[in-house]
Structure 1
Amino acid sequence: MPSGEYLRYVALGDSQTEGLGDGDDHTGLRGWADRLAAQLAATSPGLQYANLAVRGRLAGGVRAEQLGPALALRPDLATVVAGVNDLLRPGFDADEVGGHLEAMFAALTAQGALVATLTFPDMARITPLARPFGPRAAALNQRIRAAAQRHGVIVAETAHHEVVTDPRLWCADRLHANPLGHERIAAAIAHALELPGSSDAWTHPLASPALIPSRWRASATELRWAAAFLTPWIVRRLRGRSSGDGRTAKRPDLLPFQTLPADGEARLTD
């Protein structure tokens, strides 16, 4: 069972864990893992935190590049969230992706870390153009749950809750959570870990109902999204490029995490 107190937290993953959509590359990215670290630090003032995630990484890349460094840091808590970039690829293989995730679960738990992960929502509820990826997400979620059960990994079941696909929790690209979305993801994992002060409030719908656009406006929005985000993504894939080319982890070392009460913002300290 989760202990509620951790001193060495290491996050592995891709762009969501890196924090895309919550801040930017100029002012700095925050993201759900940073937000989770802030909540951990509230009960464990000596918390040290490393974030090894790099945008664009496939699950196999996360395993190849991040697992070794993560094990070297000897975390008592690790989060492993990857696989979305894989399910968007034409050659997606749920067994292969699940195998990479399970290998990371096994290695980290064997070393004594508590590991947490999450399941992925059906993005067709955000954009109809993502409908072909729904069965892939379901297949990947099934493998995540099975692997997690075998290795005692904690799973935040974000796939089960309608609010997770509320468009107001997502950036314009519909692939990355916005600050509110990252806040909900952090709260989901904190709840799964049974951290002090956590609750199921993250599952609740937003206070005001979402506006339902007309069919014409919805179609126009889909076309703009395809032109602005989907087409460039496809072009990068055809060219064999990734948004993470040349990038490294934003927080490769375990460093103290400090919560400053003056303004309520959590900050990383060097």
Structure 2
Amino acid sequence: MDFTTLSAHQGKVMVSVGDSFTEGMCDDTLPDGSFRGWADRVAERLAVDDPHLRYANLAVRGKLIGQIERDQVPLAAKMDADLITLAGGLNDVLRPGCDMKAVEAGVRSCFQQLATTKATIVLFHPTDPRRRMRGSQRLMPAVNRLIELVDEFGEAHGAVVVDLFSARVFDDPRMWAEDRLHFSPEGHRRVAEAVLQALGAEPGFDWRSGLPPARPKPFFQARRQDLRWMRVYLLPWIGRRITGKSSGDGRQAKRPEPTLVSELTQ
């Protein structure tokens, strides 16, 4: 189903499942305290053509693929959706000792459950971490396997695949929030445009284009920022890994039921 078809009838349903990427971490904060995120941005654009569009976002930060498979995908499959976006598995890959066979099984299960619905499925190639994350080369076998799984399902079931991996614009630190793990508002804006264009929408702008050159940061300012990042973000992340905790523990989905987009933006 392309963008024209998605816009051809009223009362459609869009559902997004996944982790912090889809929850919208570090995008603009909405009046209810939640983040906006690329999925909200896509829903807002679709609602321009269909004011009756209803949208649910089941994604929760920190979730592993097994949790997405168990807690989100079965709900999404029951929502009679016309469009479902799915992204997951990277939280597993980032953890030491990742069981890639278990990740593959979870990803395949998610795909199989959603393939039984009428919905157009949107999947993602993750961004390439090598040029912005030190030591990320060790992650590449698992990242490449996720990409292979997405391509296999996309080809077999006609899913829409959004290729973020090959886009060099995401090497730019300005595409990322202060935590260096989640997208900045500009990053979310680019991802939303990538999704819309992959669905066949008229391009709003070139989401792959680079930003104007940034002025280099003075050495000591950059080092202070590195130390702050370690103290505020890296060390707590390591602490959660050691204690088996997650940033999403006890957190509910921000949009658990399909709701008119117009009501969400008021």
TM-score, with normalisation over the residues of structure 1?
0.87
Number of the residue aligned with 1:12 = 17
What CA distance in whole angstroms lies between the structure 2 residues aligned with 1:54 and 1:216?
36
Residue in 1 that maps onto 2:120: 114
**Is 1:268 aligned to 2:264, yes or no?**
yes
Letter of the structure 2 residue corresponding to residue 186 of structure 1: A
1:73 corresponds to:
79
Q: CA 1:194 to 1:99, structure 2 compared with 1: closer, same or farther past 3 Å?
A: farther
Residues 3 and 169 of structure 1, relative CA distance in 2, 3 Å threshold: closer
Conserved? CA contact 1:105–1:151, under 8 Å = no
How big is each residue's C-alpha offset from its partner over 1:70-125, in whole Å with a ceiling of 9 and x where there is no partner? 11211010000111211111122444323322322222232211100111112232
What is the distance in 2 between the residues matched to 1:220 and 1:130?
22
The CA distance in 2 between the partners of 1:156 and 1:220, in whole Å, is: 36
Query: Which stretch shows the higher mean deviation, 186-195 or 96-105?
Result: 96-105
Q: What is the CA–CA distance in structure 1 between the aligned matches of 2:23 and 2:241, rounded to whole Å?
A: 21
Provide the secondary structure at the position in 2 that maps to 1:252: strand
Q: Which is worse superposed, 128-137 or 7-16?
A: 128-137
Give secondary structure in 1 for the equivalent of 2:146.
helix
CA distance in 1, matches of 2:124, 2:93: 15
Deviation at 1:217, TM superposition (A): 6.0
2:244 partner letter: G
Relative to structure 1, is the Cα distance of residues 142 and 221 closer, same or farther in structure 2, using a 3 angstrom cutoff? farther
Per-residue deviation, 1:157:
0.3
RMSD over aligned Cα, in angstroms?
2.3
Q: Partners of 1:135 and 1:101 in 2: how far apart?
A: 16
Q: 8 Å contact 1:119–1:144 — kept in the other structure?
A: yes
Of 98, 110, 116, the residue aligned with 1:92 is 98
Residues 145 and 189 of structure 1: is their aligned pair in 2 closer, same or farther, counting only changes over 3 Å? same
Which one of 219, 230, 237 corresponds to residue 234 of structure 2?
230
Aligned to 2:206, the other structure's residue is in SS state helix
From 143, 156, 159, the counterpart of 1:150: 156
Match of 1:48 among 54, 78, 82: 54
Superposed, which structure 2 residues align to 1:52-201 within 5 Å?
Answer: 52-195=58-201, 197-198=202-203, 201=206
Residue 43 of structure 1, CA deviation: 1.6
CA distance in structure 2 between the partners assigned to 1:269 and 1:118 by the alignment? 26
> Equivalents in 2 of 1:20, 1:75: separation in Å?
24
Q: Secondary structure at the match of 1:107?
A: helix
Q: CA deviation at 1:135?
A: 3.8
* CA contact 1:169–1:178 (8 Å) conserved in 2: yes
Partner-residue secondary structure (3-state), 2:118 = coil
User: Where does residue 41 of structure 2 map in the other structure?
Assistant: 35
The percent of aligned pairs where both chains have the same amino acid is 38
Q: 102-111 or 165-174, which moves further after superposition?
A: 102-111
Call closer, same or farther: CA 1:135–1:229 in 2, change over 3 Å.
Answer: farther
> Offset of 1:134 from its aligned partner?
3.6
The answer to whether the 8 Å contact 2:74/2:113 transfers is: no
Count of paired positions: 260
Q: Using the TM superposition, give the Cα deviation of residue 67 of structure 1 relative to its aligned residue in structure 2, in angstroms.
A: 1.1
Q: Please give the per-residue CA displacement for 1:195-214, whole angstroms capped at 9, x wherever unaligned.
A: 2x3356111111x1134457
State the partner residue of 1:263.
none
1:102–1:148 CA contact under 8 A, matched in 2: no
Which ranges of structure 1 fall in alignment gaps of 5 or more residues?
259-266
